[in-house]
């Protein structure tokens, strides 16, 4: 059974940093691309970032480019999102998602339960 | 990276069919066969219903089908059931290792 467990969310002041982690199990982690997707309270889904199976291809939404960094550790079956210079508009539930294939072109299939990030002074 | 355009809401009676549209551009929906659809019930994580325009993951009823014409993709749900009431989101690869979602459609089963 595929399991994705996010951690690292919380309350943080504007301008500060936070690092999200996602522990994956139940599948061969290094065979699949991974994505982070967020959902602000009461709003729709927004793709944040994606990373290919071998970290060779990485993409970001314009709204986070230059501030967020996605990475993965295949040896640990873990996905990360380093979030710097956080803004109020980054407040959202952040989902870790497994892709249907090895590239960023492949969409999310399995989703974690999410970790809540609240940016407020 | 502009969001794909979906109707805010659609509705139908049990047993009927409904279609949700998802309009993008020649740089995303029109350019790639990487359109997917997600169902989200309140307080739950999204669930993949359709990927690669027409493919259904294991366990998804064949009442759900996807299609694409030009820059517009569509999700059709036939034989509507009460449990189909949810929010639905389309998603497309948009080139240069980027992905874009639609704004979401609330499906009401009357």
Task: Among B1, B45, B103, select the one facing A61 at the smallest CB separation.
Answer: B1
- What integer pLDDT is reported at residue B32 of this predicted model? 96
Look at chain B and count its residues: 110
Each residue's pLDDT tens digit, B29-77? 999 999 999 999 999 999 999 999 999 999 999 999 999 999 999 999 9
Task: State whether residue B39 sits within 8 Å of chain A by CB.
Answer: no
Q: What is the mean pLDDT of residues A111-118?
A: 98
Q: In terms of CA atoms, which chain B residue is nearest residue A112?
A: B45
Task: Report residue B2's pLDDT band, with 50, 70 and 90 as the boundaries.
Answer: confident
A107/B34 Cβ within 8 A: yes
E-strand stretches of A8-120: 10-12, 18-25, 34-39, 45-51, 58-60, 68-73, 78-83, 92-99, 108-111, 115-119
Q: Structure tokens of B73?
A: 């993709």
Task: Among A35, A62, A111, select the one facing B99 at the smallest CB separation.
Answer: A35
Each residue's pLDDT tens digit, A50-93? 999 999 999 999 999 999 999 999 999 999 999 999 999 999 99
Beta-carbon contacts below 8 Å between A and B: 70
CB distance A48 to A64 below 8 Å: yes
Q: Are strands A18-25 and A45-51 parallel, antiparallel or unpaired?
A: unpaired
Rounded to a whole number of angstroms, the distance from the CA of B7 to the nearest CA of chain A is 13
Residue B1 has pLDDT above 90, yes or no: no
**CA B59/CA B63 separation, integer angstroms:** 11
Cβ contacts of residue A101 below 8 Å, gap of 6+? Answer: A32, A33
Q: Which residues of A touch B (CB under 8 A)?
A: 35, 37, 44-47, 50, 57-62, 95, 100, 104-114
B99/A50 Cβ within 8 A: yes
- What integer pLDDT is reported at residue A18 of this predicted model? 98
B51/A109 Cβ within 8 A: yes
Each residue's pLDDT tens digit, A8-39? 999 999 999 999 999 999 999 999 999 999 99
**Neighboring chain A residues of B96 at a CB cutoff of 8 Å:** 59
Residue B8 has pLDDT above 80, yes or no: yes
Element (H, E) at B38: strand B35-40
- What integer pLDDT is reported at residue A118 of this predicted model? 98
């Amino acid at each position: 059974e595929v399991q994705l467990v996010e951690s690292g969310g919380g309350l943080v002041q504007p301008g500060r940093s936070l690092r999200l982690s996602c522990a994956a199990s139940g599948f061969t982690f290094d065979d699949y691309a991974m994505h982070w997707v967020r959902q602000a309270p009461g709003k729709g889904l927004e793709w944040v970032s994606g990373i290919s199976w071998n970290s060779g291809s990485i993409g970001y939404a314009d709204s986070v480019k230059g501030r967020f960094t996605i990475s993965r550790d295949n040896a640990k079956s873990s996905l990360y999102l380093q979030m710097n210079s956080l803004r109020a508009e980054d407040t959202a539930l952040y989902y870790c998602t497994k892709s249907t294939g090895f590239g960023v072109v492949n969409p999310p299939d399995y989703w974690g339960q999410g970790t809540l990030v609240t940016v407020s002074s | 990276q502009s969001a794909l355009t979906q109707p805010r809401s659609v509705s139908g009676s049990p047993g009927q069919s409904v279609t949700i549209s998802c309009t993008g551009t020649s740089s995303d929906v029109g350019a790639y066969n990487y359109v997917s659809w997600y169902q989200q019930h309140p307080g739950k994580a999204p669930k993949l219903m359709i990927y690669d325009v027409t493919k259904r993951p294991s366990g998804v009823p064949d009442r759900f089908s996807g299609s694409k014409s030009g820059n517009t993709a569509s999700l059709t749900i036939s034989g509507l059931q009460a449990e189909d009431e949810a929010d639905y989101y389309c998603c497309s690869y948009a080139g240069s290792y980027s992905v874009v979602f639609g704004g979401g459609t609330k499906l009401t089963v009357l």
